[in-house]
């Protein structure tokens, strides 16, 4: 029997090796293809849209997002709920072919100028006047609107009324009063104030500059924060930090109210979103104040965080993605109200919706809306993420590491100017 006739010989050692090698190669190539998480371009004639959210902390938000997507009948919307470092996952997604079609993020000039996102003027045109001017400005680059504001998230100082009364302290209205209050409240195992794991050098980097009366950039996008007032602000923050009354190293960061609720601190910087949880835990035993002004030109600051929706220029079907955004964040006012007030509290960016949001019209929530209206500060799309990191380094170096504030401000100015050249 010739080898050709003998199956055992024909599928010998060498053939086996060859075949298994081929399988290995095929497996490798298949792995290269990978699951992008985007699904196909369309299913059953419907467009397929991939929508990305960061992981919200409030219970029920993920289910709500999935429900909204399922309700949309003109396309198959797949929701990706991304825990952890959302910004990094998003940035790598946007430069690759596996990114989202629709996603939430913060306004950023470089995303617009590099063509990662598309203008949304056409879908917002009919209701533009119903959005606040500041929200529109925060999402506009060169006169075009790139993002639809989903939620406004004011941030302020929460304080525990009973602890302040016990210590004979009034809610602080100046930065000196804040330092004094933090000192007096730091007792019996409860720290005075919690500004997050980085002692506020991250989340308060911009509000600190605003609180001194300075701006980050001028209206024509030039450096504006390098003022004596900013230096004074850094010195005051350093004074607060060296008072050793700040809670440091809590299990959760500033955006989670756990440290405040658990009685680890008497005051905490946090957002409106946390208010329902705080109410549930503490009842009426809490109040809010803005970040107090610093120095003679100082002003109280309520920082508006929040999120906006964008459409990727690499979306499989940009028009379908825009149509979905229009449906969800412009036409479906009931869903927007649900998103803003049924889980954590957020202020609806639409004036008409904000006026109707009954949960925000009484008690401390109403106070929050009022403070937001009078002291709200918004992100500038021209203040890029690189600049944010630079200002955070400036505050961290001057406040936490105790470096010379004048030279830190000067260094930050040089670095921000270099960044501004990139977007000129």
Partner 1 sequence: MTTTTTDGARTVATAPPGPAAKMRRDRHGTRGSTRTFWLFAGPFLAGLLLFVYVPVGWSFYLSLFQAQNTVVPTRFVGLDNYADILTEGPFTDSLWTFTLFALIVVPLTYVLALALALLVHRIRVARAFFRSVFFIPTACSYVVASLVWKLSIFNGVRFGLANTVLGWFGIEPVAWIGTVSPPWYWMVLVTLRLWLQLGFYMILFLAALQQIPKELYEAAWTDGARPGWQTFRHITLPQLRTTSVAVVLLMLIAAYQAFDEFYNLLPNTPYARPPLVYLYYTALGQGQDFGHGSAGALVLSALITMVTLLQGRIFGFGKADS
List interacting residues with partner 1 (CB under 8 A).
Answer: 14, 17-18, 21-22, 24-25, 28-29, 32, 85, 87-88, 91-92, 94-95, 106, 108, 110-111, 113-114, 116, 189, 197-199, 201-202, 247-251, 259, 264, 385-386, 388-389, 392-393, 396-397, 400-402, 415, 418, 422
Q: Which is nearer to partner 1, 65 or 412 (CB)?
A: 412
Q: Which is nearer to partner 1, 202 or 232 (CB)?
A: 202
Supply the minimum distance, in Å, between the C-beta of residue 186 and partner 1.
11
Separation between Cα atoms, residue 148 and residue 135, nearest integer Å: 9
Shortest distance, CB of residue 192 to partner 1, whole angstroms? 13
Our CB check for partner 1 shows the closer of 102 and 247 to be 247
Nearer CB in complex with partner 1: 28/168: 28
Residue whose CB is less far from partner 1, 67 or 144: 144
To partner 1, the closest distance from the beta carbon of 413 in angstroms equals: 13
| Residue 290: CB minimum distance to partner 1, A | 25
**Minimum Å distance from CB 252 to partner 1?**
9
We find the least distance from the C-beta atom of residue 55 to partner 1, in angstroms, to be 16
Min dist. Cβ of residue 29 to partner 1 (A): 8
| CA-closest candidate to residue 139, choices 15, 309, 334 | 309
Q: Which C-beta is closer to partner 1: that of 107 or that of 349?
A: 107
Cβ proximity to partner 1: between 18 and 74 the closer is 18
């Amino acid at each position: 029997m010739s080898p050709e006739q003998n199956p055992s010989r024909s599928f010998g050692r060498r053939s086996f090796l060859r075949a298994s090698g081929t399988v290995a190669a095929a497996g490798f190539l298949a792995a290269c293809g990978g699951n992008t998480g985007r699904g196909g371009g369309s299913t059953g004639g419907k467009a397929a849209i991939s929508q990305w959210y960061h992981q919200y902390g409030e219970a029920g938000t993920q289910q709500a997002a999935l429900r909204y997507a399922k309700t949309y009948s003109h396309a198959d919307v797949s929701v990706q709920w991304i825990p952890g470092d959302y910004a990094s996952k998003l940035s790598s997604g946007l430069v690759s072919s596996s990114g989202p079609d629709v996603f939430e993020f913060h306004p950023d000039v470089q995303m617009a100028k590099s063509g990662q996102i598309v203008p949304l003027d056409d879908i917002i045109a009919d209701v533009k006047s119903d959005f606040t001017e500041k929200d529109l400005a925060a999402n506009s680059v060169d006169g075009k609107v790139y993002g639809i504001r989903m939620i406004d998230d004011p941030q302020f100082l929460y304080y525990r009324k009973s602890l302040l009364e016990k210590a004979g302290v009034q809610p602080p209205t100046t930065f000196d009063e804040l330092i004094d209050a933090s000192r007096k409240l730091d007792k019996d195992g409860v720290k005075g104030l919690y500004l997050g794991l980085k002692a506020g050098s991250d989340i308060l980097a911009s509000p600190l500059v605003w609180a001194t009366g300075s701006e980050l950039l001028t209206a024509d996008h030039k450096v504006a924060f390098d003022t004596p007032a900013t230096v004074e602000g850094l010195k005051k923050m350093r004074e607060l930090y060296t008072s050793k009354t700040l809670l440091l190293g809590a299990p959760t960061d500033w955006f989670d109210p756990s440290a405040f609720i658990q009685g680890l601190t008497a005051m905490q910087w946090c957002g409106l979103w946390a208010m329902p949880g705080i109410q549930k835990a503490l009842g009426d035993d809490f109040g809010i104040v803005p970040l107090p002004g610093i120095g003679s030109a100082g002003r109280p600051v309520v920082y508006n965080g929040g999120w906006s929706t964008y459409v990727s220029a690499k979306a499989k079907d940009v028009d379908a993605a825009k149509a979905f955004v229009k449906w969800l964040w412009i036409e479906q006012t009931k869903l927007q109200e649900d998103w803003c007030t049924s889980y954590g509290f957020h202020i609806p960016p639409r004036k008409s919706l904000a006026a109707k949001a009954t949960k925000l019209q009484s008690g401390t929530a109403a106070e929050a809306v009022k403070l937001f209206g009078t002291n709200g500060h918004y992100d500038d799309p021209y203040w890029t993420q690189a600049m944010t990191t630079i200002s955070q380094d400036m505050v961290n170096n001057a406040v936490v590491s105790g470096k010379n504030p004048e030279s830190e401000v000067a260094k930050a100015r040089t670095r921000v100017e270099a960044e501004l050249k990139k977007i000129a």
